Amino acid sequence: MSLRVLIVDDEPLARAGVRARLDGHADVSVIGECGDGASALASLRSQPPDLLFIDVEMPGLSGLEVLEALAPEQRPLTVLLTAYEQFALRAFELRALDYLLKPVDEERFADALERARDMLALRRGEGAGVQAPCHATRFQVRLGHRVQLVLAEEIDWIEAQGDYAGLHVGAHMHLLREPLQRLGTRLDPAQFARIHRSTIVRLDRVAEMQALSNRDHLLRLRDGTVLRASRTHVDALRAALLTGEPA
């Protein structure tokens, strides 16, 4: 599957940074770059990409205004880039795929690209009449010589444990032999969200968010568990909790 990408940013160095991150992916083809919103809008209408990386704040048309100028069905999968947090909710109202704060974290960029692949595969599969892939609903964990099934709906949160993932279910933690990064791609994004490079939380378990001075947040789950959400994940998490859309 090929992923055709358009990069839009008024800063040449920022465009070069996105292109450099994409160069290592054989399935990605950069079909163009634009330095302003007007040329981006023209390019989107004449040669629509599969995936758009676009800066929010640019002279003339902003990244959000470019998306607003397109009919919803004309908008490609979009990753918004910005140095500021306050545009997050508007971004998710426009159904942006992801929202990355500058300077962009390498792992968050990789997560956004992987989500774009999954979403594009889903769209192409639906268009061809192929049944969409199901998200994992149960996991096999070992307890000595026994195998126990853990249902996704029972999981409160998940943490990285080296090559394992620790599934927290109430007061118990079960080790699943699967790295957190890989497991994250199999979970339903409408129910689970990454809040840190080493932590995933089930959205309906979150009871409270508290901002810290460094823009990280503390989450309190319904059972009283306190987790730290890094600032690179907070906006997507907040939007998912408020709107019910995938984080």
Per-domain boundaries in the chain: 3-127, 138-243
Q: Hey, what CATH topology would domain 3-127 get? A: Rossmann fold (3.40.50)
pLDDT by residue (tens digit) across 138-192?
A: 888 877 767 788 999 999 999 999 889 999 999 999 999 888 988 988 899 889 9
Q: Answer yes or no: same fold for 3-127 and 138-243.
A: no
pTM over 0.95, yes/no: no
Q: Are 125 and 102 in contact (CB under 8 A)?
A: no
Classify domain 138-243 by CATH number. Answer: 2.40.50.1020
Q: Are 228 and 216 in contact (CB under 8 A)?
A: yes
Distance (Å) of CA 33 to CA 42, 69, 180? 12, 19, 34
pLDDT by residue (tens digit) across 57-75?
A: 999 999 999 999 999 889 9
Q: What angle do CA 17, 64, 100 make, to 5 degrees?
A: 40
18-43 mean pLDDT: 95
| 240 Rama class: left (phi>0) / alpha (psi -120 to 50) / beta | alpha
As a whole number of angstroms, the distance between CA 151 and CA 40 comes to: 45
Closest CA to 238 of 189, 186, 193, 187: 193
As a whole number of angstroms, the distance between CA 59 and CA 238 comes to: 28
